[in-house]
Structure 1
Amino acid sequence: MLSREEYLEAWSRWHGGADTQAPLVRGWLSLAHTLARPLAVLPPVAVTAAGAVVAAAAVPPAAAGGAWLVLAGLLVGLSGLLDSLDGALAIGTGRASQRGFVLDSVVDRLTEAAYAAALWAAGAPGWLAVCFGALCWLPDYLRARAGQAGVHRTGPISLWERPTRVAMAALTFAGAGMVSGLQVAGLDGASLVVTTGAAVGVLFGALGTAQLGRWLRGELAGPGPVPIPGPD
C-alpha cells in the first residue's frame, strides 16, 4: 500500500493533475487512504458496487420521512466514503486501470442521481431535485468533453466537487430528520430543511460550474485539435 503522500500524488496524476492541497479534498482523500489500508485485500470493483447499492438504499428511508431521514443521511455519507475507498484501494495497491476509472465515474453519476431522487422523495420540489442532480453531472461532463478537445488538466477545485455534493446531501437529510415533526412558520420542518438544502446545493452547483466554465474558456481559446476525417 502506498504511503499517504504517494497516494495523493498518484491520485492527482489519475485526475489530470488535480490539486490535492485544498483542505476539503486533502482531508477527504486522507480519510479514504487511512480506512483503505486494512482493507487492501478487497477488490476495488466490489467497493464500487457497494457504493452504488448504498446510495440507492437511501431513497426508501428518505421517502419514509421522519427520523428515517437521519438514516438516509448516513447512507448517503457512507456511499460517498465507499466511492473514495474504491479509488484508494485501486491506486494505493497498484490495481488502478482505465476500465476501473471509467466505471468509477459512471457509478459516481448514478449515485448522484440517487441523491436527487432521495431529495425528491423526502419532499423537495421535483424541479429542484432535477436541477440538483443535473448540476452534479454537469461539471464532470464539461471536464470530460474538454478532455476530448485536448484539455488534459482537471482545472481548479470548485465549490461543487464530489465531497461537497456528498456532504450537502448527507447533512440535508440528517438535519431534516432531526427537526422532523416541528413546524416552522406553518411549514413542516423536515420538508423545509430538505428544500433549503437542495436549493443551496443548486446554488453551489451553479457557482461551481461557472467557476469551471470561466477556467475552461481560457483553456479552450486555442484552435483545438485537428479533426479526424470521416468516410466520404
Structure 2
Amino acid sequence: MPPFLTREEYFTAWSQWHGGTDPRASAVVRGWLTIAHTLARPLAGLSPTLVTAVGLVVAAAAVGPAAAGGGWLVLAGVLVGVSGLLDSLDGALAIAGGRASRRGYVLDSAVDRLTEVAYAAAFWAAGAPGWLAVLFGALCWFPDYLRARAGQAGVDETGAISVWERPTRVAMVGMTLGGAGVVSALGAADLVVTAGAAVGALLGVVGSTQLGLQLRRALG
C-alpha cells in the first residue's frame, strides 16, 4: 500500500482532483478536510467505495426521522452530519491513501448528488414547502454542474471556493434539522426548517453567482 499522504500533501492532491481549487482558501473547507484526513489515517485499509456506499445509506436514513418530526429531527440532523463526514472520509481514504481513480471520482460525485436529493427530501419531510425543498436541492447540484461543464469546455481551474461548498450544505441541513428538533416542543419546527431551507437556497444563489462570474472570466 502506498504511504499515506501528510495533510499538506493531501490538500495539494485534493486540489488536483477538484479542478485546481485550493481548499486552503476557505477555513470551512480546510477544517472539514483536516478532520477527514485525521480520521482517515488510522482507517487507511478501509475501502473508500464501502465508505461511499455507507454514506449514501446514512443520508437516505435521515428522511425517516425527519418525517417523524418532534425530537426525531435531532437524529435526522445527526445522520446528515455523519453522512457528510463519511463523504469526506471516503475521499481522504482514496486520495491520501494513494487509491484515487477516475472511476472512483465519478462514483463519489454521483453519490454526492444523490445524498443532496436525500437532504432536500429530509427538508420537505420535516415541513419545508415542496417548492423550496426542490429549489434547495437544485442549488446544491448547480455549482458542481457548472464546474463539470467548465471542465469539459477546457477550463483547467474550475473556480475558487464559494460560500456554497459541500461542507456548508451539509452543515446547513444538519444544523437546521437538529435545531428544529430542539425547538419542536415550542411548535416552531416547521418555521425553523423552512427558514433553514430558505437561507440555504439564498446561499446557493450567491455561491452560484460567485462561481458563474469566475468561470465567465476563465471562459473568456
TM-score when normalising by structure 2: 0.97
Alignment of 1:89-128 (within 5 A): 89-128=93-132
Q: Summarize the alignment of residues 179-218 of structure 1 with structure 2, pairs less than 5 Å apart.
A: 179-182=183-186, 188-218=187-217
In the alignment, is residue 70 of structure 1 matched against residue 69 of structure 2?
no
Kindly report structure 1 stretches of 4+ aligned residues shifted beyond 2 Å.
none
Q: 1:181 aligns to what SS in structure 2?
A: helix
Give the whole-Å Cα distance in 2 for the aligned partners of 1:7 and 1:145.
25
Are positions 1:17 and 2:17 aligned together? no
CA deviations on 1:203-231 (whole Å, 9 max, x unpaired) are 0000000111111111112xxxxxxxxxx
Q: Distance in 1 between matches of 2:9 and 2:214?
A: 28
Aligned ranges 1:39-188 → 2 under 5 Å: 39-182=43-186, 188=187
In terms of mean alpha carbon deviation, does 15-24 or 196-205 score higher?
A: 15-24
Aligned equivalents of 2:177, 2:55: Cα separation in 1 = 18
Residue in structure 1 matched with residue 42 of structure 2 by the alignment: 38
Aligned CA-pair RMSD: 0.6
Deviations 1:87-142 (A, max 9, x none): 00001111000000000000000000000000000000000000000000000001
Q: Secondary structure at the match of 1:124?
A: coil
- Which stretches in structure 1 are left out of the alignment for 5+ residues? 183-187, 222-232
Q: Find the aligned partners of 2:91 and 2:158 in 1 and give their Cα distance.
A: 17
Kept in 1: contact 2:158–2:215 (CA 8 A) = no
After superposition, what is the alpha-carbon deviation per residue over 1:70-91, rounded to whole angstroms, capped at 9, x for unaligned?
0000000000000000000001
Question: What is the letter of the counterpart of residue 155 of structure 1?
Answer: G
In our comparison, the structure showing a higher alpha carbon Rg is: 1
Residues 36 and 92 of structure 2 are in contact (CA less than 8 Å); yes or no, is this contact kept in structure 1?
yes
Count of aligned residue pairs for this structure pair: 216
Which amino acid is the alignment partner of residue 10 of structure 1? A
Q: TM-score, normalised by structure 1?
A: 0.92
